[in-house]
Structure 1
Amino acid sequence: MPKIPHVYYDKATSSYYAVASIGFDELTGKRLQKKKRGFRTQLEAKKWYNDFIARHSKKAITNSISLTMDVFLEKYFIPSYKNKVSDRTFLTFRSKLLRLKYFYRMKLVDIKPIHVKNWHTELFEANLSNNYVKDLHQTLKEIFDMAMVLGVVNENPARIVKNVSRTKCKVDFWTKEEFEAVIHTFQKDDILEHLKFITIYFLFMTGLRISELQALYWDDIDFENKSFIVSKSMFYQNRNTWQINPTKTTAGTRLIYLDDTTLELLQEWRTHQEKIGQISFIFSYNCLPVTKTMLVKAIKVHSERAGVKSIRIHDLRHSHASFLLSLGMNDLEIQNRLGHADVQTTLRTYSHLRPNAMREVADKLEGQIKLI
């Protein structure tokens, strides 16, 4: 027989029992439950559950009425969420909690759709982007989903209020000429400048995510076969706290081949690095991984020197994709190179970089079919 919610089988007594949630203690926030044992069938247990809930629904609401958002987060949602996500995801979630303080002292049963909408207004007044507000709203939905499962509330106000629309992020990049102008501004005789140069060069020529680059060791490079395998990424918080994890998806694990010039530049950097000592990380001068802060500043400074626009670190990945497109690479080749989970991601992100593609298709079709 299919599993019936709130009904369980007791092997010791070969019988069924039901568990009904009747709310939460007003002072401690502890969940209150009523358990009834000794049923011969699932249906008997389910009937008792339905009758009990019908009789005690008002009492359940009363017991839950004082449970505030901050207590619910601390005692129920956060412990559960932390156990099912990665450290990186949980750290991102913790930063979102600051934006949920609007609801902290409110009782969950008192939070209505109008409060959620007013919360949206305050977030936009704080100049937060549509995309960030959308992510915050999704978090609120998940919190209320758990509250419903636990019987604290009867509806999810975040689901009633529609989420905001996501704004498509602008894909910025350097052209080949802009990239050349930037890399010519580095003085590689200085160890730090050399590190910045090789890091930015490698990101442009491989399309790696910064977290993937930070996790690369010299042992990962196969100089003989001119390749390396992307199989891990780094979760970096600060110089004292960082960890290396497997890539997030199966598609993220990939083999990347390197051109001869990039290999030569890596060897040149390795020689310079070895003057300091034996360092396992490729992109390091002090046995610690290169940081985003260093690269952000380097891109800004050297862009100004070269007289080209400054871009984000992640835009070097877009720059690589644009460079591949200019060389005539197809979508599947780019998908595999960048480690996208599916080709649709590649198409959505980079299709606009070749606006003449559809016209080129028509030009190639011209004259292919003989009518006589």
Structure 2
Amino acid sequence: MVKKYKGVSRNNKGKIYYQIEFGIDKKTGKRQRRKSYKDQFGNDFRTEKQAFDEACRVRMEFNQQQFQASIEEGKNDKDITFKEFMEKIYLPYYKKSVQSVTYKTAVTQYNSFVERFGNKKLIEINVRDCERYRLELIEKYSPNYAKGLWSRFKQCLGYAERLEYIESLPCKNLDNPKGRRSETRFWRLDELQKVLKTFDLTNYDDRQHYTAVWLYFMTGMRVSEGLSLIWSDIDLENKVIHIQSTLESNGNGTYIRKMQTKTEAGKRFIEIDDETLKVLKNWRAIQVNNSDDSYVLARFGQPMHKSTLSRMLKRHAEKAGVPVITGKGLRHSHDSFMINVLKKDVLYVSARSGRTDKATTLNTYSHLYDRERVSGGTEITQVLRSVGLIEIPHQDPTKENEIS
């Protein structure tokens, strides 16, 4: 009787072979197998025992290679430089975590970290290195920019800690640079009127720009949301705009309409007024290329660029003699209009503007709310008295009731 050897078999022609498995490859996720009819010298197996011995040798060799690889991997983890960590590990992770426009904006800052720490080993960056860098940022940049850079730098090292490239975060106990609350200029309603009068509505470009200013002021859309609007997003009959996309430039004259907004709350429906409806209808009536899938704020089929919007706002603000604002300033102008003129509360403004956190709206515009208007003392008094809920007259519980 032929002795059975694990992993050794014969095919239908009687040829002897071995087949063994080494588990799953961690990098590829595929099963690792080895099958052969020959030994390491290229000779066919004459017996099952020869095949079994060769299989044992192959398995032992594989295990030794894996063990050596694990040692080298551990060594590489300790020797990895900050530059290698950023380029091979952090930036690929970050690129997949954010929108492409966010990555393009941030990568310049990340490159400055690489320039600063370069070939220094990641595990050798200590708290004193971090403190020196923090002070350099404060000295070199504005408070807000220094604070932003420091925050990104800490995120990089925090990711290294989570992946166990470093044992602890070296900058954990250091103070953040103190930023200053930036004030975004905005227009009041009377200032908007002055700006709108500077446009020549018989001119095609001016009509496009007039429409853009009006639409942003009256809806509070983010700049990229407005640039990505197509006509099918607007229900002219029911006076509703569906915000569901943003526009990104590839930098070579082409654009990508991404079916996502900055936050999940950014996907929303905005009700528009009758005058805004007229502005949109008048623009569509003369716009070149105005099918349902055409961009609303486009010129001859090409969507407006952010820089075009900024230059146009500056030019017409100076003509009107009002503060120069940005596209973001138009969004703030709308929110100010909602709060100061229409007296809308923070929940309404937050939902209309597409903000995830209501506290963000409150923190941004708390100075616009009239403290007297939100005190509510008089209203509370009126309600309590109307239901008979009043304070019981004072009695001294330390004295016994006197019986007359």
Tell me the TM-score range normalised by the shorter chain.
0.7 to 0.9
Q: How does 1:1-372 map to 2 (within 5 A)?
A: 66-100=79-113, 101-130=115-144, 132-238=145-251, 240-245=253-258, 246-274=260-288, 280-325=294-339, 326-357=341-372, 361-365=376-380, 367-370=382-385
| 3-state SS, counterpart of residue 314 of structure 2 | helix
Q: Does the 8 Å contact 2:78/2:123 carry over to 1?
A: yes
Deviations along 1:47-89, whole A, 9 cap, x unmatched?
Answer: xxxxxx9xx9xx9997555432112212222223223333223
TM-score by length of structure 2 reads 0.71
Instruction: Tell me which amino acid in the other structure corresponds to 2:268.
Output: R
User: Which piece of structure 1 moves more, 168-177 or 318-327?
Assistant: 168-177
Aligned-partner Cα distance in 2 for 1:354–1:81: 38
Compared CA separation, residues 124 and 190, structure 1 to 2 (3 A): farther
Report the Cα offset of residue 312 of structure 1: 1.9
Instruction: Tell me which amino acid in the other structure corresponds to 2:157.
Output: F
Q: Does the 8 Å contact 1:171/1:349 carry over to 2?
A: no
Report the Cα offset of residue 338 of structure 1: 0.7
Instruction: Tell me which amino acid in the other structure corresponds to 1:194.
Output: R
Deviations along 1:143-199, whole A, 9 cap, x unmatched?
Answer: 223333444333322323232234322243211111111111111222211111110
Aligned-partner Cα distance in 1 for 2:370–2:250: 39
Q: Does the 8 Å contact 2:143/2:177 carry over to 1?
A: no
Instruction: Tell me which amino acid in the other structure corresponds to 1:140.
Output: F
Deviations along 1:10-35, whole A, 9 cap, x unmatched?
Answer: xx899xx9xxxxxxxxxxxxxxx996
Identity %: 30
Q: Does the 8 Å contact 2:143/2:178 carry over to 1?
A: no
Q: Does the 8 Å contact 2:185/2:324 carry over to 1?
A: no
Q: Does the 8 Å contact 1:226/1:258 carry over to 2?
A: yes
User: Which piece of structure 1 moves more, 344-353 or 66-75?
Assistant: 66-75
Q: Does the 8 Å contact 1:174/1:316 carry over to 2?
A: yes
User: Which piece of structure 1 moves more, 212-221 or 108-117?
Assistant: 108-117
Q: Does the 8 Å contact 1:192/1:285 carry over to 2?
A: yes
Q: Does the 8 Å contact 1:61/1:152 carry over to 2?
A: no
Q: Does the 8 Å contact 1:233/1:244 carry over to 2?
A: yes
Q: Does the 8 Å contact 2:244/2:266 carry over to 1?
A: yes
Compared CA separation, residues 256 and 34, structure 1 to 2 (3 A): farther
Compared CA separation, residues 149 and 323, structure 1 to 2 (3 A): closer
Report the Cα offset of residue 365 of structure 1: 4.1
Deviations along 1:233-269, whole A, 9 cap, x unmatched?
Answer: 1223535243222123331111111111111111111
Q: Does the 8 Å contact 1:239/1:288 carry over to 2?
A: no
Instruction: Tell me which amino acid in the other structure corresponds to 1:258.
Output: I
**How many residues were matched structurally?**
323
Compared CA separation, residues 175 and 67, structure 1 to 2 (3 A): same
Task: Could you tell me which runs of 5 or more consecutive residues in structure 2 were left unpaired when the two chains were aligned.
Answer: 1-20, 27-63, 392-404
Compared CA separation, residues 141 and 342, structure 1 to 2 (3 A): closer
| 3-state SS, counterpart of residue 154 of structure 2 | helix
Compared CA separation, residues 225 and 73, structure 1 to 2 (3 A): same
Aligned-partner Cα distance in 1 for 2:76–2:349: 57
Report the Cα offset of residue 290 of structure 1: 0.8
Q: Does the 8 Å contact 2:231/2:290 carry over to 1?
A: no
User: Which piece of structure 1 moves more, 241-250 or 345-354?
Assistant: 241-250
User: Which piece of structure 1 moves more, 93-102 or 291-300?
Assistant: 93-102
